[in-house]
Amino acid sequence: MKIREHVGVEGGYHVIPKSREGLLKFQPKQDELPNRSMVDSYTTAKVLLETDALMRQRFVYGKGWLRMGRIMEELDLLAVWICHLHIHLPNLPEGVPLPYTFVTLLVDHAHFLQEEFIADADVCLSGHVSWTDNSSMEVTAYVRQNGMLLAKGIFVVEARNAVNNGPAPVNPLVPATKLEESIYQAAQKRRANATARLQSQQPTKEEQQLMYELFTRTKGADGHSPSDMSTLPPNSRWMSKWRRRTLMHPFPENRNEANTIFGGFIIRRAIEISFMTVSLYTNQRCMIRSIADVTFTHSIPVHSYIKLKAYVVFTHENFIQLLTVVNASSATSFEELKCNVLHLTYSCKDVVPEILPRSYHEALYYLTGRRYFNRFRDSVSHDVVSGSPQKSRDIK
């Protein structure tokens, strides 16, 4: 509600929303925008799970576990509000709404640093802008309970003009302290490497050898024959058998100020289908540990249907890697667009059955899952170290 008021979007749902073209004349030029520091956008919010029973009901599963999808949905909303706080237009007349629209481009990653979230203790969310370029902002967000850092997420949000048909300039971010400078440098390095997505890289020689070893393990003692093309080793499962899909209507209540489906809602639903998939696969309780490279290729119009598909693509001991794809299908033309891809890592109490590919395409999914799992193991240790103090390394 506060975000919509800030940008002048009228309340309620309208099939044809009120035009915001009149705000285009208030869009500033880049050189009119003053520098900002991380403190300027720093904010906090609380999810009152301890005292508000109705709020707690929205954030728990039937068995009382905290819903990580809900947490990510709230973090995405907080990231957008942080961008509102960062933007400062000194020449904007009083009473004129902010002539901007904000769109989540990417969730670089979110790491869940603890295996247990308490379902009846308040959750504190906080964050700040950690990097900017001409029209986009990186936001670093934190989740805590009882002062302990439980999760950390990195969002990239693009600033668009009032009618969402072109970029809008953002205030330059200039670090004001040594801590801000270190956060900024880490963000700058992250953004410089962001174009090298793991799923788009060709198999290395090591990975090609791994693919051959997988083939030899599944060809059977007598090799392939027309009647028996593959053999499943003990305590393993075929990847083709472990995918789950669903179709849903998002409805206008889940839209953003641009009249498309809110990114946090998409992330939540993708996490929920991945959670169901991993629970069915393992028959035990599993905890989400990481989300990586959540891309937003196309926005989802409010009148669309959403198709969600979750695949188990890699396993290692008690860890499972999933690929979740979100597509939009027009309710009128039924044209389908690929909108979102998420890579998720879960951990379980016990060792899980091994997932194995049965085709070349599945082998590529397997390699991609393995890459993301290895990146999770390498990068989560850094977040644990940098965020380990009770009063962690955010800027306040």
Strands (E), the chain: 43-47, 100-112, 123-132, 136-145, 148-161, 236-238, 243-248, 286-296, 305-316, 319-329, 336-348, 354-356
Contact 154, 191 (CB under 8 A): no
- Residues 325, 69, 58, 5: is their CA dihedral positive or negative? negative
Tens digits of residue pLDDT in 256-313: 877 789 999 999 999 999 999 999 999 998 999 999 999 898 888 888 899 999 999 9
Of 314, 311, 229, 308, give the one whose Cα is nearest residue 261: 308
Rounded to an integer, what distance in angstroms lies between the CA atom of residue 143 and that of residue 45? 10
Distance of CA 53 to the CA centre of its chain: 27
Q: Which residues pair with 109 in a beta bridge?
A: 154, 292
* Residues of the chain above pLDDT 90, percent: 61
Could you tell me the pLDDT band of residue 14, with boundaries at 50, 70 and 90? low
Give dist(CA 154, CA 129) in Å, integer. 10
CA 293 vs. chain centroid, Å, equals 7
Are residues 289 and 111 in contact, defined by beta-carbon separation less than 8 angstroms?
yes
> 159-216, pLDDT tens digit by residue?
999 998 999 999 999 999 999 999 999 999 888 877 566 666 788 899 899 999 988 8
Rounded to an integer, what distance in angstroms lies between the CA atom of residue 225 and that of residue 215?
A: 14
Q: Which two tokens stand for residue 82?
A: 């942080």
Q: Quick one: 206-388 is in which CATH superfamily?
A: Hotdog Thioesterase (3.10.129.10)
Please give the Cα distance from 143 to 104 (Å, whole number).
19
Q: What is the mean pLDDT of the chain?
A: 88
185 touches 132 (CB < 8 A): no
pLDDT of residue 388: 36
What is the value of pTM for the model shown? 0.89
* AA letter at 344: L
Longest dimension (CA), the chain: 80
Fold match, 1-194 / 206-388: yes
Q: Which one has a higher pLDDT value, 134 or 4? A: 134
Assign domain 1-194 to its CATH architecture.
Roll (3.10)
Average pLDDT estimate for 76-101: 94
Domain ranges of the chain: 1-194, 206-388
pLDDT of amino acid 157: 96
